Amino acid sequence: MRKPIIFSFLACAVVLQAQTPTPQPPNADPIALASFEMELFRRAARENNVAVTRQATAAREAQIARTRFCAKANHFVKLWMDFTNRLNDEQIFDAKLAKKLAKAFHELETSDGWPVREAVK
């Protein structure tokens, strides 16, 4: 019996603590009104700054993903060129190089930048 009461008290305390009061504008004092408007402006700027930061972070993450994909693609192309040159010039099928090539293609295929087709219905 005692535990549910304590739990409900703690839940109410957390809910009440999470709420922040909305500031009310002062009635007649022009200095207080200007101060109030400046505080609202600062809050809006802070919220806007957070949004801009989130956008910049998302753009940076996308750029990093593109860079990683390009690096994997370049690695695959280099291995492919080595494989084809060895096959054409020396007429030798290099099984170790073929395994490396398959692994590089699999890494490229499973990376974030790989285009994915939706299932056709």
Residue 4's pLDDT band (cuts 50, 70, 90): low
47 three-state secondary structure = helix
Is 3 domain-assigned? no
Is 9 domain-assigned? no
Is 10 domain-assigned? no
Evaluate if residue 77 carries a pLDDT over 90.
Answer: yes
Is 15 domain-assigned? no
Evaluate if residue 103 carries a pLDDT over 90.
Answer: yes
Is 49 domain-assigned? yes
Is 17 domain-assigned? no
Q: Can you tell me the mean pLDDT for 9-24? A: 54
Is 67 domain-assigned? yes
Write down the pTM of the prediction.
0.54
What is the number of other CB atoms lying within 10 angstroms of the CB of residue 91? 7
Evaluate if residue 78 carries a pLDDT over 90.
Answer: yes
| Token pair recorded at residue 108 | 């490229």
Average pLDDT of the chain? 77
Boundaries of domain holding 77: 25-109
Which stretches of 19-115 are DSSP H helices? 30-90, 95-109
pLDDT 10s digits, 17-63: 555 555 555 566 667 777 777 777 777 777 777 777 778 888 888 88
Report how many domains make up the chain.
Answer: 1
Distance (Å, rounded) from C-alpha 30 to C-alpha 58? 42
| Token pair recorded at residue 87 | 């096959």
Is 62 domain-assigned? yes
What is the number of other CB atoms lying within 10 angstroms of the CB of residue 39? 11
